[in-house]
Structure 1
Amino acid sequence: MTLRTLFLQAPSFDGYDGGAGARYQMKREVKSFWYPTWLAQPAALVEGSKLIDAPAHDLSWDDIKHEADDRDLVILHTSTPSFRQDIRTAELLKARNPKLTIGLIGAKVAVEPTVALEASPAIDFVCRNEFDFTVKDVADGLPLGGIDGISYRDAAGEIVHNRDRAVIEDMDSLPFVSPIYKRDLTIKKYFGGYLLHPYVSFYTGRGCKSRCTFCLWPQTVGGHNYRTRSIAHVIEEVKYVQREMPEVKEIFFDDDTLTDNLPRIEELSVELGRLGVVWSCNAKANVPRKTLEIMKKGGCRLLLVGYESGNQKILHNIKKGLRVDVARQFTKDCHDLGIVIHGTFILGLPGETEETIEETINYAKEIDPHTIQVSLAAPYPGTFLYKQATENGWFDGSDHLLTDGGTQIAQLSYPHLPASLIFDKVEEFYRRFYFRPSKIGSIVWEMVRDWDMMKRRLREGVEFFDFLRRRKQAA
């Protein structure tokens, strides 16, 4: 008999996006929530399961505690910033229902399974690496000793690490996640400053061939081999969304870099164009114009692009595999074709100086994406950046990546560039990018053409200035 299973993203800071779809777990400059896709996927494999995403639905412990009463198994997603709070949730669940089996998933426990199990006796097992079918095996009642890909505490209290589970090669063997969203989530609770609302996001493949030193999921769970679903399989899920969730205005394909495989993205774009769907995706800033033209014709509205830095040496340092001049031409092509860009940048990466920060700010203003996100370099355990930073003494190796309120702090500090200065430069970056007459004009024009956008941008404006205020308090 299948265990009665609850998949849980635990309550957390107000406005904190710690979901299993969030690339970096933190409060952002404008409130946003990503779908907990990495929880929804195994939930789709387990008959009778339930998924609760507490942060996005503003649920407290008191709101969810009763869910433990009639369950056999709870799968908690955790991350480095939320780990201690998630452990506390696990302990509360176990105290309420001592018969519960509780397992943890996520990048944090994939790379530090022993640390996770030693943190609390409430944790019965953790899943390492790609965990969908691992969780299904547990839910199907298989003995923990015979399940690949887990670490657990045996009857004697000893920690046992089973052999690794092979990665999934047949991605079509995974069921759709959209029906789980529809069944268990309120989709209007999920939004981002640059996506149409409401939106839906899911993966068409896993893994990323790029070797960016800071990027968390490919180095811990997804791997560097880009494994893809068939085009037909993806299109069937898109049709499901169109049919069963007609209020959705945009589909975001959350593959690490969907555009890595040019023939596939071109074929997918043609099929999406036939459905008349509006869509967006992550993209590396090196997609040729020919492919961009096919994507635009197929309904692509927006690309989320990780520029990271405007300095070529820093891009080399982080193994980005991108040339600044290529990214500049790519951005010009997107502007010409009418493809909107949300650009992301990171301050404090290896090689950063006050001069390179200035170079990146000027670069962002020059290429002028429609919206931006500026983050601080985050040395998550399991990444090359973490190893590099601890070996060089750039930070103390702690897991304290956020303030007590959930706002990101500057972890890395260099002899020539202290963390406090890097932290302050984030606010300067935002102000200098957004407080330009041309940028203010484009945002105002966007607002006057659409009443819903007017209300949304006004709300985001309040959140943005509150974000700047919180950063001053955290400094």
Structure 2
Amino acid sequence: MKICFINPPFKAEYGKFSRESRSPCIGHSGVLYYPLWLIYAAATAEKDGFEITFIDAPAKRLNKDQTLEIIKLKAADAKLFVLDTSTPSIYSDIDFGASIKEVHPNSKILLVGTHPSATDLETMNINPKIDFVARREFDYIVLNLARALKNDCQISQVKGLTYRDVDGSIKRTESAEHITNLDEIPLAAPFIKKYLDVKDYVFAAAAYPSIQIFTGRGCPAHCNYCVYPQILHGHNYRLRTPKSVLEEFKYIAENFPEVKEVVIEDDTFTANKQRVMEICELLIKNNLHKKLRWLCNARVNIDLETMKKMKKAGCHLIIPGFESFNDQILKNIKKGSNTKLIEQYVENARKAGLMIHACYMVGNEGETKETMQTTLEAALRFKTDTAQFFPLIPYPGTEAYNWAKSNGYISGNYNDYLQEDGTLNCILSTPSLSAQELVDFCAYARKKYYIRPWYIWHRICKGLQDKEDLKRSLKAFWRLKDSVFN
């Protein structure tokens, strides 16, 4: 039995839609995330013996007709189509699934991802041609559904599934447990080698080309806006063993000579200090720190000792979500940090020789023009390597969405999450700040941050020291020049 996994086409005429970004869009920086969760599910099914086809339409900027043609050529005999989704593209994703069903009426359509997981009944009711929705982490849901279809077993026995019964009614099975032994899940890198082209994907903070992997799932933090822990993976940070992480680094070094950097996309790679130290020791012991540099998401509670070990092991950049430089706002969004921790984090990173890509978010509960200005002043003072400024974008299934929706701060439908050209749109207006004021502030903050003598000189110095960083800077400048200078 064949399974066809698809990252569906969406707004290809405008660019590459990064569906798995935490805020899915066509980014000004040209970013395109690997469809990692779809990759892991496909690799799991293939490991079990299923024949698979994998199509990443955004990576090749395929439109709907082109993608359907590829399906006709490569997967016309597929019995199950697994479609990745996102909130901004959900109506298009459902329409694409229905189009497959029209051409292949005997096939089954399964939607996966954060949006249908959070809104399963609503999603199923949009179009009767959609057969299933997987809720939460879906690797084994896809596998167990495929087994049930292959062996003519009862769909009602597949945990984590919302499905359309023979009489047209929509039913939900018992929720599936989160996967605890992540070493059972196949590595992403060999699958990427077989099915994808690393040059199609861009992570703006990394040297190009880079490769993305996950070494764990879930996040112990409870930030009210963060999508993946609240909807897919939960707050229990489940870990691959250090040996498994080493195995993937080795594979990348041996099989991807063109790859310059590994992006560890865990929500919080540094949550378990002992494990981080063990991984770093293994990378150093196997000389992989000399072959591959890497970056990761790292919360503000890591200490200087850990940062120094990471630097020695090949890490060159860390990505924290500072979000705000106001303690009350940080408390409101359940960030689990404070301004003192942020100050110490920046100081320690400087001592360890690690660069920082700082993430700032405005529009949260308690935000005012004054608190936004305070955050900007702190960002300018920190002088991190790069910084991003975005309005809060509340996604269904998150506490932030419930807060904004219940207070009437967001309106419209899911199409409103993006501009016509696929770039992010601010859908949030609070009594203190309108959507336009939030957007204008972020544009102003980017200009203030990047167009100043210190930053220009900083980039020149970094580029002279590191040719890969110079390439990254030039590409970033070219992609962002319109949004920064206009």
Residue 436 of structure 1 is matched in structure 2 by 452
Q: Distance in 1 between matches of 2:211 and 2:427?
A: 33
- Describe the SS at the equivalent of 1:374: strand
Deviations 1:378-431 (A, max 9, x none): 110000011111122222374221112212122221222212111110100100
- Counterpart check, 1:59 vs 2:58: no
Q: Distance in 1 between matches of 2:15 and 2:54?
A: 19
* Contact 2:208 2:260 (C-alpha < 8 Å) held by counterparts: yes
Residue 255 of structure 1 is matched in structure 2 by 266
- Describe the SS at the equivalent of 1:56: helix
1:102 equivalent among 99, 109, 116? 109
- Counterpart check, 1:92 vs 2:102: no
Residue 142 of structure 2 is matched in structure 1 by 135
- Counterpart check, 1:386 vs 2:404: no
After TM superposition, list the pairs within 5 Å mapping 1:337-376 onto structure 2.
Answer: 337-376=352-391
Residue 23 of structure 2 is matched in structure 1 by 24
Which amino acid in 2 is paired with 1:25? P
Which amino acid in 2 is paired with 1:9? N
CA drift of 1:451 comes to 6.0
Q: Which runs of 5+ in 1 are unaligned?
A: none
Q: Distance in 1 between matches of 2:276 and 2:234?
A: 20
After TM superposition, list the pairs within 5 Å mapping 1:140-155 onto structure 2.
Answer: 140=147, 141=150, 142-155=153-166
* Contact 1:259 1:265 (C-alpha < 8 Å) held by counterparts: yes
CA drift of 1:456 comes to 4.7
Q: Distance in 1 between matches of 2:365 and 2:343?
A: 22
2:344 equivalent among 329, 347, 353? 329
Which amino acid in 2 is paired with 1:332? E
1:175 equivalent among 178, 186, 191? 186
- Say how many residue pairs are matched: 467
Q: Distance in 2 between matches of 1:207 and 1:129?
A: 11
- Counterpart check, 1:49 vs 2:56: no
- Describe the SS at the equivalent of 1:369: coil
**Aligned alpha-carbon RMSD (Å):** 1.7
**Higher mean Cα deviation, 355-364 or 168-177?**
168-177
1:9 equivalent among 7, 10, 34? 7
Q: Which runs of 5+ in 2 are unaligned?
A: none
Which amino acid in 1 is paired with 2:365? P
Deviations 1:38-76 (A, max 9, x none): 000010012221222111222222332131423221100
**Higher mean Cα deviation, 351-360 or 388-397?**
388-397
- Describe the SS at the equivalent of 2:228: helix
* Contact 2:446 2:484 (C-alpha < 8 Å) held by counterparts: no
Q: Distance in 2 between matches of 1:285 and 1:214?
A: 17
Residue 223 of structure 1 is matched in structure 2 by 234
CA drift of 1:222 comes to 0.6
Which amino acid in 2 is paired with 1:225? N
Which amino acid in 2 is paired with 1:34? Y
CA drift of 1:178 comes to 1.1
Residue 425 of structure 1 is matched in structure 2 by 441
Q: Distance in 2 between matches of 1:319 and 1:235?
A: 33
* Contact 2:447 2:484 (C-alpha < 8 Å) held by counterparts: no
CA drift of 1:288 comes to 0.7
Deviations 1:240-268 (A, max 9, x none): 11122222221111111011111111111
CA drift of 1:124 comes to 0.7
- Describe the SS at the equivalent of 1:201: strand
CA drift of 1:185 comes to 0.8
CA drift of 1:449 comes to 5.5
CA drift of 1:344 comes to 0.9
* Contact 1:18 1:82 (C-alpha < 8 Å) held by counterparts: no
Q: Distance in 1 between matches of 2:137 and 2:9?
A: 24
Residue 39 of structure 1 is matched in structure 2 by 38
Q: Distance in 2 between matches of 1:341 and 1:152?
A: 44
Deviations 1:343-391 (A, max 9, x none): 1111111111000110111111111110112221011000001111112
Residue 277 of structure 2 is matched in structure 1 by 266
Residue 463 of structure 1 is matched in structure 2 by 479
CA drift of 1:29 comes to 3.0
Deviations 1:120-175 (A, max 9, x none): 12211010011101101122224422211100101100101011111111111111
Over 3 Å counting, the alpha-carbon distance change for 1:196 and 1:235 in structure 2 is same
After TM superposition, list the pairs within 5 Å mapping 1:407-422 onto structure 2.
Answer: 407-422=423-438
- Describe the SS at the equivalent of 2:441: helix
Q: Distance in 2 between matches of 1:347 and 1:440?
A: 25
Q: Distance in 1 between matches of 2:385 and 2:186?
A: 35
1:199 equivalent among 207, 210, 216? 210
Q: Distance in 2 between matches of 1:466 and 1:438?
A: 21
TM-score by length of 1: 0.94
**Higher mean Cα deviation, 273-282 or 341-350?**
273-282
CA drift of 1:321 comes to 0.6
After TM superposition, list the pairs within 5 Å mapping 1:296-307 onto structure 2.
Answer: 296-307=311-322
Over 3 Å counting, the alpha-carbon distance change for 1:24 and 1:157 in structure 2 is same
- Describe the SS at the equivalent of 1:157: coil
CA drift of 1:15 comes to 2.9
* Contact 1:25 1:79 (C-alpha < 8 Å) held by counterparts: yes
Identity %: 34
Deviations 1:96-137 (A, max 9, x none): 222221100001111111111111122110100111011011
Q: Distance in 1 between matches of 2:114 and 2:277?
A: 31
Q: Distance in 1 between matches of 2:144 and 2:99?
A: 25
Which amino acid in 1 is paired with 2:437? L
Over 3 Å counting, the alpha-carbon distance change for 1:300 and 1:462 in structure 2 is closer
- Describe the SS at the equivalent of 2:319: strand
* Contact 1:390 1:397 (C-alpha < 8 Å) held by counterparts: no
* Contact 1:252 1:281 (C-alpha < 8 Å) held by counterparts: yes
* Contact 2:132 2:163 (C-alpha < 8 Å) held by counterparts: yes
* Contact 2:83 2:110 (C-alpha < 8 Å) held by counterparts: yes
Q: Distance in 2 between matches of 1:248 and 1:63?
A: 29
Q: Distance in 2 between matches of 1:251 and 1:456?
A: 15
**Higher mean Cα deviation, 413-422 or 315-324?**
413-422
CA drift of 1:453 comes to 5.2
* Contact 2:207 2:469 (C-alpha < 8 Å) held by counterparts: no
